[in-house]
Amino acid sequence: MVVELKAAQTRLALLFKETGLTMAEAQRVAGNQLDTVETITEFIDIENEARRQLGRLSALYRELFPTRHSKPSSYNRSIYNRAKQIYLNSHHWRRIKDARLELSRYKCEAQMRGCTGKATAVHHLSYVHLGDEALWDLRCVCESCHKKVSMRFKK
What are the residue boundaries of the structural domains of the chain, listed by start?
Answer: 2-88, 91-154
CB atoms within 10 A of CB 19: 14
Q: Which of 59, 60, 107 is nearest to 79 (CA)?
A: 60
**pLDDT cut 90: percent of the chain above it:** 65
Pairwise CA distance, residues 119 & 11, whole Å: 41
**CB-based contact 87:131 (threshold 8 Å):** yes
pLDDT band for position 60 (cuts 50, 70, 90):
very high
**CB-based contact 62:33 (threshold 8 Å):** no
* Per-residue pLDDT tens digits for 105-124: 999 999 999 999 999 999 99
pLDDT band for position 28 (cuts 50, 70, 90):
confident
**CB-based contact 68:38 (threshold 8 Å):** no
pLDDT at position 155: 45
pLDDT at position 45: 93
The reported pTM is: 0.83
Burial class (CB in 10 A: 0-12, 13-18, 19+), 133: buried
pLDDT band for position 63 (cuts 50, 70, 90):
very high
**pLDDT cut 70: percent of the chain above it:** 97
Residue 140 reports pLDDT greater than 80: yes
